[in-house]
A and B are shown apart, each in its own frame.
Chain A
Amino acid sequence: MDTNILFQAIISGLLMGGVYALVAVSLNLIFGVMKIINFAHGVFMMLGMYFTYWISVFLGIHPYVSLFISMSALFVIGFLIQYGLINRIMEAPEHNQLLLTLGIALFFENLALFLWSPNFRMVKVTTLAGAMHVGDLMFSTPRMIAFGAALCMTVFLYLFLKKTDCGRAIRAISQDREGAHVIGIHMKIIYSVAFGIGAACVAAAGTMITPFFYITPTVGLVFVITAFVIVVLGGLGSFWGAFFGALIVGIAESLGEVLLPGSLKQVPIYSIFILTLLLRPKGLFGKKHV
């Protein structure tokens, strides 16, 4: 095996891992705070991509500039979904919560099919679209930007949770729901803010990959199934667990791609996953709250 191919695999795996990280960290935030598994995460990503697409088609704005628009839009959508729908079933049995988020996912996916058809689309970008070649290695510019942006967002999110009042309130709830209630944190609003932030982050991931990935109503699935694996791998509710878990999975997947044929490329991921569950059921980074 050519060492170049291996290095190339590690690079592209790492860059993809950055995108996975943003998806997984936001999924984990929602789980950590609300204790619900958000099956609608993929459709938020898809909506973020479509927002970016339509903004670029109608206003001719570069996808990176529309980042803030798609994030704000998804924050509002996420906030309203939590406020109006999920808040009503916070105390319901888990399977009912699953049904609700799954229902929301089905609704948006089919709405997208209805409004925008199952056709594949792609944002056409000319600036910042190429790739750099160092020796025989290729560094795709949009992928590096996506990686950098995902990294920044993750750090911002971390600082937000650590340093701001709102962030502290979110953490307080994730640590002790009743205690937070007792000291006067407005639960419903904070829940909604946390959910909105989760949706905005995954929308950002969606926006950042539009320059190199196709858009279709079911596109979220490609990323979110991997994100679920990452979250369990890194530890449910663990912020940095999800982050490093994503990088590990990204690299494992692309090494698997060059070392194993076809669908076997996912064997390394799931092997790591099963080993983690067997040997460290709480995930690589334990169940430490942010």
Chain B
Amino acid sequence: MKKRDKGGVDRREFIKGMGALGAAVAFSGFPRLAHSAEEVKFGIVEPLTGPLAPLGLSDRRGYEQAVDEINAAGGIKSLGGARLKLMLGDSEGKPEVGMAETEKHIQRGAVAVMGAFQSAVVFATTQVAEKYKTPFIVGVGVAESITQRGFKYTFRPIATDAWHIRDEYEYLDYIQKKKGIKIKTIGIFYEDTLWGQSSAKAWKKLAAEKGYSIVADLPYPHATSDVTGVISKLKAANPDVAMTVAYISDAILVTKTMKDLDFNTQAIIGMGGGHQDDAYIKTLGKLAEYVSVCENWENDLKIPGVKEANENFLKRNGVEMDCVASMCYTCVYVLKDALERAASTDREKIRDALAKTHLRPGEKGNIQPCSIIFEEAGQNKDARTVIAQIQDGKRRSVFPVQFASREPIWPMPKWKDRK
């Protein structure tokens, strides 16, 4: 009995071995098509399955829309109208799978790879790309250290997590100047894992530099059953502005508790995450009004191309374009711009062209609220975020002023003054 079992395993392993050999032959033996003029291939690595699948899907839609738009408009002109071809790669949300997928794309002749939604995956995939001297354009992945490693082939058009906090303070400065309101004290409350902790550190550091004082510093555990204690402490501290990072479940609970405790402040500013989720508005309805969120992009920004991109997205997918889709969309246009200037599918030449990128907001498919100019280590030095406020049941961009669609409502009305 035991012997037969063993034999079975051996057979299986033999077949596996043959499979691997076959794959190896296939990769090395087939002619590379990337250099033919008709088609320029690039790969994406995104969490297309697993718990992050809905967000990965949004990313994918952003890439695909840009590819289709570019191809419909005549492809890459400097390459004789070559069409862009997108190759899908599923990271399953895991760094090691992301690495394998990146390698696969490169073996199959991708001129560049994009992705990967999670910072942890981006760390791994950019390493592979660096090794193979292939440009990696970071679509989503905000950890600051990604572009602090001195990599030559990593490029990130979007703002880092630390810059979100920089922009939040900039927004407060702007409000003080514009509305003549004094803002001095800030209360921060945040979920107490890595995300919240690192944000708290940045808030405190910048507050000292910018002349604000943090009067309440309140971490709370994620997915807890009650936050009455935290919010009553926040209320007792009575800050001018409350700033937070929260996942959606906690954001919902916190907002309800704020109403129950009648906690009023000039503004509540979340950062991405729960406050950026459409479910936040859908679940809370009117309670969500006037809450602000700092995020990378919003679909009502007054930048040439945003309206068209959003309408096209709605037509293709039945939902409006979200922040992550817009960032992936822009990445494809960044690659297109580099390909046009490089007039080649050589990865080295594309890298050099990427390093010289200069796209103003609204120029050639850059729908982000910033220019795209990469510094040495690949970070877009002009990258910035947007502050949006929930007004009439939708997030509306209110800052930076030159791109904003609405005026901020500041301070937010007290609970008892609302209908």
- CB within 8 A of B279: which of A119, A140, A213? A119
Contacts of A254 in B (CB 8 A): 226, 228-229
B223 within 8 A of A: yes
- CB within 8 A of A8: which of B228, B253, B279, B283? B228
- CB within 8 A of A223: which of B192, B220, B225, B284? B225
Contacts of B223 in A (CB 8 A): 221-222
Q: Are B260 and A140 in contact (CB under 8 A)?
A: yes
Q: Are A262 and B219 in contact (CB under 8 A)?
A: yes
Q: Are A212 and B224 in contact (CB under 8 A)?
A: no
- CB within 8 A of A262: which of B221, B228, B252, B256? B221
Q: Are B226 and A16 in contact (CB under 8 A)?
A: yes
Chain A 3-22 residues near chain B, CB threshold 8 A: 4-5, 8-9, 12-13, 16
Q: Interface code A107-147, partner B: CB below 8 Å = 1, 0 otherwise? A: 00000000000111110100000110100001010000000
User: Given the complex of chains A and B, what is the CA–CA distance between A258 and B232 in angstroms?
Assistant: 8
A-B contact count (CB 8 A): 92
Contacts of B229 in A (CB 8 A): 5, 8-9, 12, 254-255, 257-258, 265
B236 within 8 A of A: yes
Residue of B nearest to A209 (CB): B225
Q: Are A5 and B236 in contact (CB under 8 A)?
A: yes
Residue of A nearest to B286 (CB): A124
Q: Are A5 and B219 in contact (CB under 8 A)?
A: no
Q: Interface code B232-253, partner A: CB below 8 Å = 1, 0 otherwise? A: 1100100000000000110011
Q: Are A12 and B279 in contact (CB under 8 A)?
A: no
User: Given the complex of chains A and B, what is the CA–CA distance between A12 and B232 in angstroms?
Assistant: 11
B353 within 8 A of A: no
Pull 5 A–B residue pairs with CB atoms less than 8 Å apart, ordered by A.
A12-B228, A133-B262, A140-B260, A255-B229, A263-B219
Q: Are B261 and A222 in contact (CB under 8 A)?
A: no
- Whether A131 contacts B221 in the complex (CB less than 8 A), given A12-B229, A213-B253, comes out as no
B285 within 8 A of A: yes
Q: Interface code A247-265, partner B: CB below 8 Å = 1, 0 otherwise? A: 0000001110110011101
Q: Interface code A208-236, partner B: CB below 8 Å = 1, 0 otherwise? A: 00001110100001110010000000000
User: Given the complex of chains A and B, what is the CA–CA distance between A160 and B1 in angstroms?
Assistant: 56
- Whether A122 contacts B224 in the complex (CB less than 8 A), given A8-B232, A138-B261, comes out as no
Residue of B nearest to A113 (CB): B51
Q: Are B283 and A12 in contact (CB under 8 A)?
A: no
Contacts of A13 in B (CB 8 A): 226
- Closest-CB distance, A266 to chain B (whole angstroms): 7
Q: Are B230 and A257 in contact (CB under 8 A)?
A: yes
- Whether A120 contacts B248 in the complex (CB less than 8 A), given A16-B225, A213-B253, A262-B219, comes out as yes
- Closest-CB distance, B103 to chain A (whole angstroms): 31
User: Given the complex of chains A and B, what is the CA–CA distance between A257 and B224 in angstroms?
Assistant: 10
Q: Are A261 and B192 in contact (CB under 8 A)?
A: yes
A176 within 8 A of B: no
Residue of B nearest to A5 (CB): B232
Chain A 258-290 residues near chain B, CB threshold 8 A: 258, 261-263, 265-266
